[in-house]
Amino acid sequence: MKLREWDARTASSAEIASLLGTLNAALAADLPQDPPWRDSHLREYFSEVMPGERRISWVAEADSTSEGAPGQILGHVQVLLLGDIGVLEVLVHPTARRTGLGRELVRTAARRVYQEGFRSIGVEVVGDTAGVGFYEALGFTREYVETRSVLDLATVDWSALTGMAAGVDAGYRVRFCPGGPPDGLIEAYTRAKAEARDSDDGELRPSSYDPQRLRDSLDTLHRRGLRPYIVLATHDGTGEVAGLTEVVVPTQHPTRADQYDTIVAQAHQGYGIDRAIKARMLLELRSAEPALTEVQTWNAQANEAMLKVNAELGYRPDREWSEYSVDVAELVHRLDAPR
């Protein structure tokens, strides 16, 4: 097996296709109900980052001593360096698992993170997959747990959903904003997100709490081939953003959308905003994304109010989605020690 640093921006089309094949093989093994990925904007997905962030990647290619055709990408690891943490993603083809390849990919990335001066590494681990035991054996500790839920749009009662969307109290205006919030509401939008910041401390998926970062985030989403949609509720009396919900439709798997933040400002809770904005989003997506068949969302298990809203909308719990972390120096020492 040959392991080398890799840059999606300069990779050949054959390499991108090989990586896609390994990605879909891993998905079929670990998440068989998830839709396969497509090659649309895949190069951009693996290369575009926010200002101030860096992504470093490596691939493991088959050679004459390993399974697969020579040059086939059987493993991929990338680390996103942001803030004070490196966020790790590891991909190993099912035919190359239990060979030590995953461990070697993690060691390669961990060494670089250590050299770059970062103190910790975080990774998202999907429940009921081999990744749980793999990362725990390497010393990663679970820090945060969410439940992923999936909504099958074929099961939605659209008439009932229309009623939910209209169920917000008087004094609020709900609007649909494809592409992002209007410029005049950018600052109010980020203030609403900043208020919810404390509850998101465990998230490896950073949010945008200031206007410029929000603009940068939306621009990065578009460049990565992710189409953002926003529904927000404004308060008539103050003009403030009282609630918001965000959905992104990836061109890489356009039949299943990803639900991002849903936030209701504390002063505006109890007026039916959360249910109304999420219902309105689904109604709008029905027209805006006719190929869409599912929406997936992640919620902290302690967030009973949002889990209740999701259940009313028809979401069904799927599996746990955990965030693990480890001290980089300890991880490097453990991986470099003789086995």
Q: What is the distance between the alpha carbons of residues 282 and 245, in angstroms, rounded to a whole number?
A: 11
The pLDDT of residue 303 is 87
**Residues 283 and 165 reside in one and the same domain:** yes
**Residues 173 and 195 reside in one and the same domain:** yes
**CATH number of the domain that residue 59 is part of:** 3.40.630.30
Instruction: For 283-325, give the secondary structure using H, E and C.
Output: HHHHHHCCCCCEEEEEEECCCHHHHHHHHHHCCEEEEEEEEEE
Domain count across the chain: 2
What are 20-53's pLDDT values in tens digits?
A: 999 999 999 999 999 999 999 999 999 999 999 9
**Residues 140 and 34 reside in one and the same domain:** yes
The CA distances from residue 123 to 55, 111, 158, in Å, are 14, 16, 37
- Tell me whether strands 294-300 and 256-264 are parallel, antiparallel or unpaired: parallel
**Residues 10 and 54 reside in one and the same domain:** yes
**Residues 210 and 103 reside in one and the same domain:** no
**Residues 251 and 328 reside in one and the same domain:** no
What are 237-292's pLDDT values in tens digits?
A: 999 999 999 999 999 999 999 999 999 999 999 999 999 999 999 999 999 999 99
**Residues 127 and 205 reside in one and the same domain:** no
What are 209-251's pLDDT values in tens digits?
A: 789 999 999 999 999 999 999 999 999 999 999 999 999 999 9
CB of 234 closer than 8 Å to CB of 271: no
Question: Is the pLDDT score of 16 beyond 80?
Answer: yes
The pLDDT of residue 201 is 47
What are 154-187's pLDDT values in tens digits?
A: 999 999 999 999 999 999 999 999 999 999 999 9
**Residues 137 and 20 reside in one and the same domain:** yes
**Residues 75 and 190 reside in one and the same domain:** no
The pLDDT of residue 266 is 92
**Residues 233 and 105 reside in one and the same domain:** no
Give a yes or no: residue 152 inside a domain.
no
4 Ramachandran zone, left/alpha/beta (phi>0; psi -120 to 50): beta
Give a yes or no: residue 318 inside a domain.
no
**Residues 125 and 260 reside in one and the same domain:** no
Q: What is the distance between the alpha carbons of residues 248 and 155, in angstroms, rounded to a whole number?
A: 21
182, amino acid identity: P
What's the whole-model pTM score? Answer: 0.92
273 lies in which domain range?
157-313
Q: What is the distance between the alpha carbons of residues 93 and 283, in angstroms, rounded to a whole number?
A: 38
The pLDDT of residue 83 is 86
